[in-house]
Structure 1
Amino acid sequence: MRCHAFQLPSEVYRELEAQILEALASASLEQLGYLLADHDLEIELLSGEWRVLFEVSEDIAYQVVDLNERRTRMAVSPDELAEFVEMLRDPERQRAWTPISFGLAELVDALPQGMDLVGLVVVEEDDDWLWSESTHEIIAIRPEVYALIEPHMRQLVEIGDYGALARLAGDHSEGAIEFSNERWFQLGQGIVQHAPELIPVIEATLSPPGVYTSIREALSRVADPRTQPSLDAWLRVHSGGHQYGLFFRDIRREVE
């Protein structure tokens, strides 16, 4: 799940502030859209970007977060903006966020520093992404990216939202191996026969970069180019670039 950040001129935000704060708690996206119609900038934040942003700004901004309802909303008033922007522009934080910073970098550049010229409202995207075609995957995530988003991925595992987990991992992946249903089941059979140590790894869904080498070696034992050409090709061409964190996506877990 991604979010959209809306920048509103301060006079617009101040006029609508009470309605905006009330609407963030329970209003539909359509209702919020009417309130935010006079925004002068909209920026999409990827699944990991808004999560790290919300995490560090919870003491500054008004937030409404309900992961079970997939509701993630935040408002920063013009009076709070200077502190918010100073926090975002912290050089150490900027360096830490660089591996996942796309929309965030645009947002940091756009917000005025040391001024109260705008207000900011962040809301979750609509649920159209839930209806896109999905497939079984092994998703590779660079170690520096995995370190940033791992707590949020594990939080989604805990609440059982594997659809949002796939969105988060996919937004920040280095690459992915896709499997048809038939080849995913063949992979499972091959693992049982030739690499049983992978069974608890796949059941756990996530594996950290520290165990990547052993997992890669085990996967190579079931990567028959006749039955698993995509896995075989990835292991030969791409697998040695980094000590990847892996997400094993079984779409049967994503049934709503």
Structure 2
Amino acid sequence: MRCHAYQLPSEVYREIEAQILEALANADRDQLGYLLAEHDLKIELLSGEWRALFAATEDDYFQVVDPTEHRARMAVSPEEIAGFVEMLRDVERQIEWTPISFGLAELVDALPVGMDLVGVVFVEEDDDWMWSESTHELVAIRPEVYTLIEPHMRKLIEAGEWAQLSRLASDHCEGAIEFVDDKWFALGQAIVTRTPELVPIVEASLSPPGLYQNIREALSLVADPRSQPSLDAWLRVHSMDHNYALFFRDARKERG
């Protein structure tokens, strides 16, 4: 699930501030869209970006976050915007967030410094992304990215929010190998038969970079180029670039 930042002129924000806060708490996304129609800038934040931002500011600004309801909302008033921009422009924080920063970088450049000219409202994207077909995947995540998004991935695993977890991993991955059902099941059977030490790792869904070399060696034993050509090609060509964290995406968990 991604999120959009809506920049509103300060006079517009102040006029409807009470309605904004009420709507963030209770309204559906369409109602919020009508309320924020007079925005003069809209910026998309990827799944890991808004989560990092919200976690860093959860005690400072009004937020409504509910993974089960697919809600990710925050309001920063014109009176608060100077402190918010100062936080975003902190050099150490910018360096820390660089591996996942796309929309955040655009937001930093767009917001005025030291002035109360705008307010910003963050609202989750619509649910259209959830209707795309789920696929089995092996997703590779660079270690510096994994450091930033792992806590959020763990929370989604605990909550059983597998579709959101897959969206988060896909938004920030280095690469992914897709498997149709029969190839995924064949890979699982080969792992059980030939490399059973991988079974608990696959079942856990997420493995840290420290396990990568052992996992890679084990996968190379079951990556038959005839039955698993994509996995075999990735292991031969790309797998040595980094010690990746791996997300084993079992689409059955998303399909219920």
Deviation at 1:69, TM superposition (A): 1.1
Measure the CA separation in 2 of the matches of 1:209 and 1:74. 32
Q: What is the TM-score normalised by the length of structure 1? A: 0.99
Deviation at 1:131, TM superposition (A): 0.5
Q: Do 2:134 and 2:255's aligned partners in 1 also have CA atoms closer than 8 Å?
A: no
SS in 1 for 2:16: helix
Q: Do 1:48 and 1:168's aligned partners in 2 also have CA atoms closer than 8 Å?
A: yes
**2:94 is equivalent to residue 94 of structure 1:** yes
Q: Do 1:82 and 1:115's aligned partners in 2 also have CA atoms closer than 8 Å?
A: yes
Measure the CA separation in 1 of the matches of 2:154 and 2:59. 23
Measure the CA separation in 2 of the matches of 1:255 and 1:118. 42
Q: Corresponding residue for 1:54? A: 54
Q: Do 1:60 and 1:80's aligned partners in 2 also have CA atoms closer than 8 Å?
A: no
Q: Do 2:64 and 2:73's aligned partners in 1 also have CA atoms closer than 8 Å?
A: yes
Deviation at 1:3, TM superposition (A): 0.4
Q: Corresponding residue for 2:80? A: 80
SS in 1 for 2:223: coil
SS in 2 for 1:187: helix
Q: Corresponding residue for 2:115? A: 115
Q: Corresponding residue for 2:206? A: 206
**2:132 is equivalent to residue 141 of structure 1:** no
Measure the CA separation in 2 of the matches of 1:211 and 1:59. 35
Measure the CA separation in 2 of the matches of 1:5 and 1:237. 38
Kindly tell me the number of residue pairs found equivalent between the two proteins.
Answer: 256
**2:213 is equivalent to residue 252 of structure 1:** no
Q: What is the TM-score normalised by the length of structure 2? A: 0.99
SS in 1 for 2:224: coil
Measure the CA separation in 2 of the matches of 1:203 and 1:59. 35
Deviation at 1:86, TM superposition (A): 0.5
Measure the CA separation in 1 of the matches of 2:116 and 2:185. 57
Measure the CA separation in 1 of the matches of 2:162 and 2:232. 26
Q: Corresponding residue for 1:36? A: 36
Task: Supply the AA of the counterpart residue of 2:184.
Answer: W
- After superposition, what is the alpha-carbon deviation per residue over 1:117-176, rounded to whole angstroms, capped at 9, x for unaligned? 000000000100001122100000000000000000000000000000000000000000
Moved more, 55-64 or 246-255: 55-64
Measure the CA separation in 1 of the matches of 2:151 and 2:38. 35
Q: Mind listing any 5+ residue stretches in structure 2 that lack a counterpart?
A: none
Q: Mind listing any 5+ residue stretches in structure 1 that lack a counterpart?
A: none
Measure the CA separation in 1 of the matches of 2:43 and 2:14. 21
Measure the CA separation in 2 of the matches of 1:236 and 1:30. 47
Q: Corresponding residue for 2:157? A: 157
Task: Supply the AA of the counterpart residue of 2:220.
Answer: S
Q: Corresponding residue for 1:24? A: 24
Q: Do 1:8 and 1:119's aligned partners in 2 also have CA atoms closer than 8 Å?
A: yes
Q: Corresponding residue for 2:68? A: 68
**Sequence identity, in percent?**
73
SS in 1 for 2:79: helix
Task: Supply the AA of the counterpart residue of 1:8.
Answer: L
SS in 2 for 1:5: strand
SS in 2 for 1:134: coil
Q: Do 2:134 and 2:254's aligned partners in 1 also have CA atoms closer than 8 Å?
A: no
Task: Supply the AA of the counterpart residue of 1:80.
Answer: E
SS in 2 for 1:199: helix
Deviation at 1:67, TM superposition (A): 1.4
Measure the CA separation in 2 of the matches of 1:151 and 1:142. 15
